[in-house]
Chain A
Amino acid sequence: MTEPLLRLDNVAMHFRTKGDGFLARRNQTVQAVDGVDLTLAAGETLGLVGESGCGKSTTARLITRLLEPTAGRILVEGDDIAHLDERRLRPYRKEIQLIFQDPYSSLNPRHTVGAIVGTALRTHNLVEKGGELRRVQELLELVGLNPEHYKRYPHEFSGGQRQRIGIARALAARPKIIVADEPVSALDVSIQAQVMNLLESLRSELGIAFVFIAHDLGVVRHFCDRIAVMYLGRVVEEGPRDGLYDAPQHPYTQALLSAVPDVGVVRGVPPRQRIRLAGDPPSPIDPPSGCRFRTRCWKAQDICATQDPALIERAPAQQVACHFAAPPAASLVAEAV
C-alpha cells in the first residue's frame, strides 16, 4: 500500500499551562489533542466537526506545523514532519496552506492585495522576474476578484472579498493540501454560499485536497467527502459523508446532528430523532476516565468509566469509538435526558 498524501498517526498536543484562581501555582496539562489518527488522500475533502474547544484548530495548527506535537507522527507522503526544523520544513510549508476564519485579522492592513499575494509567490520562488503582476492578477481572477484591484488595501474590500484574498494567497503556493479553519463561519449566509461555491470549483479544477473545519454541520456535509467528529481532543467517529449523516453510530454524533435546527422541517423534511444532551463538554485539563463522553452520554454503563473505547470499523469505512456503537434506530428507545 502506498502512503496517503497526509496521515496523522496517534498525534497528541498537550499544552502546559498555569492554572487560574486557587490553582494558580500549580502547573496543568491541557490535552487539546490526544491520540488522533487521520488520513487524507490526494484531492479528497476531510471535514472536522465538534464543539468549541474539542481540538479542531489545534489539529489544523499541527497539520500546518504551526505547532510541534507532543507525541505522534505527521506524515506527508510518508515523510514524518512532526519535529522538522524550520529549514527542513520549507518544502512542506509550500504544500500545505492554511486559510483562517477571520478575514480581517489574517491580512496585513498596510499591504496592498498585490503585495500580499505577491509575497506568497516570492516566498516559494514561484514566479520568474517580471511575471509577478500577471500571476497575481490571474490568481485574483481565479477567486472572483477584479484583477485591476491589486493596488487596493484589505479595508477596501468586504468580508467575503477579504476571504477571497486569503484564498488567493493560499493558492499562490500551488499547495496540494489546504487546511481551512472555519473559512466561512464569519460570513453572512448569502456571502458564505458564494465562498463555498468558489472553494468547490477550486477543488474540482485544481484537485487540491482539503481539511475543512466548521462547526456548521450543513456546511461540512455540503463540502466534504469524509467527516471526522471530535470530542475533547479525540476522534469519536469518522466515515464517508452519507454513512455519517444518515446512520451515525456514536451517541455524540447522534446528539450533535439531532441538535441542529433544520429549516427543511417547514417543507416536510422529516425531523431527526430528538436527543438533548445535558451540560457542557468537560474541561480538557482533567478529562473523564475511560470514554471521554461518558459524563454526558445516556447509554453509558460501568465499562465506559474504566475502558477507553477504541476507534473500530463498524460499517464500511465508518469507524466508531464506543462500546455500544449502533445506528440510531437501535437506540430510539433510549430517549436522552
Chain B
Amino acid sequence: MTSQTANQPRQAPVATPYLEVSDLRVTFPTPDGAVTAVRGLNYSLPLGRTLAIVGESGSGKSVSSMAVMGLHDPKSTRISGSIKVGGQEIVGMSPAALRKHRGTGAAMIFQDPQSSLHPYFTIGNQIVESYRAHHAVSKRAARERAAEMLNRVGIPNPRRRLDSYPHEFSGGMRQRAMIAMALVNDPKLLIADEPTTALDVTVQAQILDLIQDLQRDFGSAVVFITHDLGVVAQVADDVLVMYAGNAVEHGTVRQVLGAPLHPYAWGLLESLPAVSGEPAPLHPIPGSPPSLLAVPGGCPFHPRCEFRDRVPGAMCTTVAPDLVARTADPAHTSRCHLPAPDRVFASEILPRLP
C-alpha cells in the first residue's frame, strides 16, 4: 500500500491545483556523501490560496522551493519526481523554457533583497529589464509599468524613486522593491522564502499586509516559507510542516495550528513563548534535527519523540509512516503511527499551551 495520493484530493473548494509537487527528491553530491535534502515531497496548491511551509533550518524548505522555480544547477543537483506549474512539467525543462517560467509562471522573493537586487543598477532599471525580458514594449512604457508597480507596493514618490539605487532604500523599502520586481510580469505563483525574517516587527507587519493584499488583487497562488508560526497564523490558508526533508503534517491553518496531529508540530507549539494569554512553561523538543547524511530509519523523528513508546511494537524505529489522514477528517494528514493523535493533543498538549 502506498499513500502517494493521500493528500491530493483535499482541495475541496477549488478544482485544479495550479502547483502540484509529486514525489519530489532533490539530492546533492557532497564530499561526505550524497545529501538528499528533499525526500519524496507531495503537495498541491490552487490559485488564490496561500500555503505556508514551516520547519526548522535545514528541513528542506528552500531547496524544495528552488526546485519549483527551476533554480538548481543541473550539473550538481539530482532532481526526480514531478513539479507541475499551471500544467507544465518543470523537472527536466530546458534552460530557455525555465527562464520564461521564472517571471511569467512563477516568481520568488527572498529574505535578503540583496540576492535579487543588483547594487550597481537603479531600482527602476532593474524592474524595467525584468518587464522587457517578457514583454515587447518600449522603454518608456516599461518605465511607466515600473512606477505603477512601485506605487502598488507602497513606495512613496514612485516616479522619483525609480532612479534610486538599492542602498538608498531602507530594509523595508528594498523588500517592497523586490516584491514589485517579482510581480511585474504577473506571475500566477509567488514563492516567498522568509521574506520578513530580517525585518523589524513593525515593518514585517507592513510587508505581510502587502503580500496578502496583492494576493487578493492578483488571485495568485502563494507559497510562504517561514519558521515563525505566528506569521503562519496571520497569512496562510494551508500549512505544510517539514522535518528532515519531508512533509510530516498538512492541513488548513485551523487544523495544523489549532489541533495538530504530529508530535513534532506539538513540540514546536510548546517551544513558543506567547506574547499574550497566560504565560506557560516551555516544553522543548529534546535533541536536535538529524544530519541529512544519516537520517534515522523508521520515523525520522523517533530519536526526539516522547510518544514513540505509545506506538505498539518497534514501528517507530522500523517502519516509515505515510502522510495520510489519521482522524475522521480526510483533509488533515500526518506522518505518524501514534493512535488517536487528536485525543492525545486535546487531553495532554492543549492544556499545556498558553
Chain A residues within CB distance 8 Å of chain B: 51-52, 158, 160, 188-194, 196-197, 215-219, 221-223, 245, 255-267, 269-270, 272, 276-281
A276 CB contacts on chain B under 8 angstroms:
202, 205-206, 209
Besides the known contacts A222-B274, A269-B274, 20 further A-B residue pairs in the complex with CB atoms under 8 A apart: A52-B200, A160-B288, A188-B57, A189-B272, A190-B284, A191-B284, A193-B271, A193-B272, A217-B275, A218-B275, A221-B279, A257-B275, A261-B204, A262-B276, A266-B253, A269-B276, A269-B354, A270-B276, A277-B206, A280-B170
Q: Does B325 contact A (CB under 8 A)?
A: no
B231 CB contacts on chain A under 8 angstroms:
261
Chain B 176-215, CB-CB to A under 8 Å as 1, else 0, gives 0000000000000000000000001111111011000000
Q: Does B83 contact A (CB under 8 A)?
A: no
Of the residues B57, B253, B273, B286, contact of A221 by C-beta under 8 Å = B273
* CB under 8 Å from chain A, chain B span 255-272: 257-258, 267-272
A196 CB contacts on chain B under 8 angstroms:
273, 282
The answer to whether A263 touches B257 (Cβ under 8 A) is yes
State whether A190 and B254 are in contact (beta carbons under 8 Å apart), knowing that A158-B288, A263-B230, A267-B353 are contacts in the complex: no
The answer to whether B274 touches A188 (Cβ under 8 A) is no
B204 CB contacts on chain A under 8 angstroms:
259, 261
- B27 to chain A minimum Cβ distance, whole angstroms, is 23
The answer to whether B206 touches A263 (Cβ under 8 A) is no
A280 CB contacts on chain B under 8 angstroms:
170-173, 200, 203
29 A-B pairs within 8 Å (CB atoms) are namely: A51-B200, A188-B57, A190-B271, A190-B284, A193-B273, A194-B284, A197-B281, A217-B201, A218-B274, A219-B273, A221-B273, A221-B275, A223-B273, A256-B202, A258-B205, A259-B201, A259-B202, A259-B205, A261-B205, A261-B230, A261-B231, A261-B234, A263-B229, A263-B274, A265-B234, A267-B258, A276-B209, A280-B171, A281-B200
- B187 to chain A minimum Cβ distance, whole angstroms, is 25
Of the residues A51, A188, A266, A279, contact of B233 by C-beta under 8 Å = A266
B234 CB contacts on chain A under 8 angstroms:
261, 265
A160 CB contacts on chain B under 8 angstroms:
288
- B265 to chain A minimum Cβ distance, whole angstroms, is 11
A51 CB contacts on chain B under 8 angstroms:
200-202
Interchain CA distance A134-B348 in the complex, whole Å? 41
In the complex formed, the residue of A with least CB distance to B196 is: A261
- Chain A interface, DSSP helix/strand/loop, else mixed: helix
Q: Does B232 contact A (CB under 8 A)?
A: yes
Interchain CA distance A52-B184 in the complex, whole Å? 30
- A337 to chain B minimum Cβ distance, whole angstroms, is 11
A223 CB contacts on chain B under 8 angstroms:
273
The answer to whether A222 touches B205 (Cβ under 8 A) is no
Chain B 296-328, CB-CB to A under 8 Å as 1, else 0, gives 000000000000000000000000000000000
Q: Does B56 contact A (CB under 8 A)?
A: yes
State whether A190 and B172 are in contact (beta carbons under 8 Å apart), knowing that A263-B233, A264-B276, A276-B209 are contacts in the complex: no
The answer to whether A190 touches B267 (Cβ under 8 A) is yes
The answer to whether B354 touches A264 (Cβ under 8 A) is yes
- B289 to chain A minimum Cβ distance, whole angstroms, is 8
- A164 to chain B minimum Cβ distance, whole angstroms, is 12
The answer to whether B277 touches A264 (Cβ under 8 A) is yes
A263 CB contacts on chain B under 8 angstroms:
229-230, 232-233, 257, 269, 272, 274
In the complex formed, the residue of B with least CB distance to A276 is: B205
Of the residues A188, A218, A257, A258, contact of B273 by C-beta under 8 Å = A218
The answer to whether A261 touches B277 (Cβ under 8 A) is no
Interchain CA distance A266-B254 in the complex, whole Å? 6
Interchain CA distance A258-B276 in the complex, whole Å? 11
Interchain CA distance A88-B253 in the complex, whole Å? 58
Q: Does B227 contact A (CB under 8 A)?
A: yes
Q: Does B292 contact A (CB under 8 A)?
A: no
B170 CB contacts on chain A under 8 angstroms:
280
